[in-house]
Structure 1
């Protein structure tokens, strides 16, 4: 291999190692689903994940006995691909709904419509994407780097799976926004760019989001002295 090419590949590899994909949604990636992003601040979810979040300081969680979960949606409307099918997209929103009901139903009755003493949870999936994984440290060794570069060119590298959500929580009587959150997570890596994404690859992320929402409600309720 010619040295200039080798140097270029090594440089690209080192740049890839130096930068790590952020686990927090950048403001430039906000979808527009939420009505007001200006109040969002960096925070940690109950599980320790980085999120952008806002909670009304005056909210009294103890007054809510029910929760109405609006059917989750994709925002903006996604375009299925060879890797992410329309069937998988539908399965993701359906499972997200069931996970939210399962978790929030541990503390609140699931309501069939908004009303007094009812929280409205309005969730959206705002991104589902796959991308090439960066070079691993051992692949910086020149001989391995050559193989890695060829593998990338042929679409053979493992694929990162990223999924993001935005959600608002409202008062079921007044429709006042009580809380907002923006976050993302990483699903199970795919073998290559020909491997289809399945619901099982992102289920743990959806389960984690739902569990964190329940834990957040419990924390706020405890803070109200209940």
Structure 2
């Protein structure tokens, strides 16, 4: 269960801004990145957020002495748009990598490649889509812009940035899957439907994911 708590916080921490909150990822929002979603169950992360998660009950934590973080993927491969250009997408994955390595290295050494004693993390920023009643879904891309009414009197709507992620944890020696997690979170709202999204708009979400991961590792190590 301790490892389950650690894994559940990898893709952690949805930030609810402007009164909007993230709910658990639904099956029709799964990207296909994990392949098999049949073992996932809805649980609560240590921060109280909803997460879909599975952890091998037979996992032996004592065998892992390092962690190897694969480069974050964009899955499915997106087509950049005017509002979410290629630079924003690459900036988000790059920052995700940096944050995960920064925080994970505080607890376990970073490995340069998979191997015996290494826990491998393979993560992706994945597509989520809007099904808001009365609004047409946006193009399915790794960061969906979901229209949310913030001023019904004036008719002005902010654009909420929603970030989805899926991750699988693999034994570096046997290549066996030992855990999976699916999460989504909410970043900064854009001021209008023409504002271009930037990596800074979701850095708070990513920092939360990485920070909570390190906290879970620390708690686990202490026990």
User: Scaled by the length of structure 1, what TM-score is found?
Assistant: 0.78
Q: Secondary structure at the match of 1:42?
A: strand
Distance 2:217 2:114 in 1: 18
CA displacement, residues 176-209 of structure 1 (integer Å, 9 cap, x when unaligned): 1111000000000000011111111100111122
Matched, 1:179 2:194: no
Aligned position for 1:73: 73
Distance 1:176 1:220 in 2: 22
Residues 216, 36 of structure 1: alpha-carbon distance in 2 compared, 3 angstrom cutoff: farther
Between 93-102 and 44-53, the greater mean CA deviation after superposition: 44-53
Aligned position for 2:189: 189
Aligned position for 1:64: 64
Q: How does 1:1-226 map to 2 (within 5 A)?
A: 22-127=22-127, 128-136=143-151, 139=152, 144=153, 147-148=154-155, 151=156, 157-218=157-218, 226=223
CA offset at residue 216 of structure 1?
4.0
CA offset at residue 42 of structure 1?
0.7
Q: Secondary structure at the match of 2:161?
A: strand
Q: Are the aligned partners of 1:61 and 1:217 in contact in 2 as well (CA < 8 Å)?
A: no
CA offset at residue 46 of structure 1?
2.3
Question: Structure 2 stretches of 5 or more lacking a match?
Answer: 1-19, 128-142
CA offset at residue 218 of structure 1?
4.5
Q: How many residues align?
A: 189
Distance 2:218 2:178 in 1: 15
User: Which one has a bigger Cα radius of gyration?
Assistant: 1
CA offset at residue 221 of structure 1?
5.2
Q: Secondary structure at the match of 2:149?
A: coil
User: Scaled by the length of structure 2, what TM-score is found?
Assistant: 0.79
Distance 2:102 2:205 in 1: 15
CA offset at residue 82 of structure 1?
1.0
Q: Are the aligned partners of 1:60 and 1:221 in contact in 2 as well (CA < 8 Å)?
A: no
Q: Are the aligned partners of 1:46 and 1:215 in contact in 2 as well (CA < 8 Å)?
A: no
Which is helix-richer, 1 or 2?
1
Residues 176, 32 of structure 1: alpha-carbon distance in 2 compared, 3 angstrom cutoff: same
Distance 2:218 2:35 in 1: 25
CA displacement, residues 71-112 of structure 1 (integer Å, 9 cap, x when unaligned): 000000011111111001000001001111011111111011
Q: Secondary structure at the match of 2:103?
A: helix
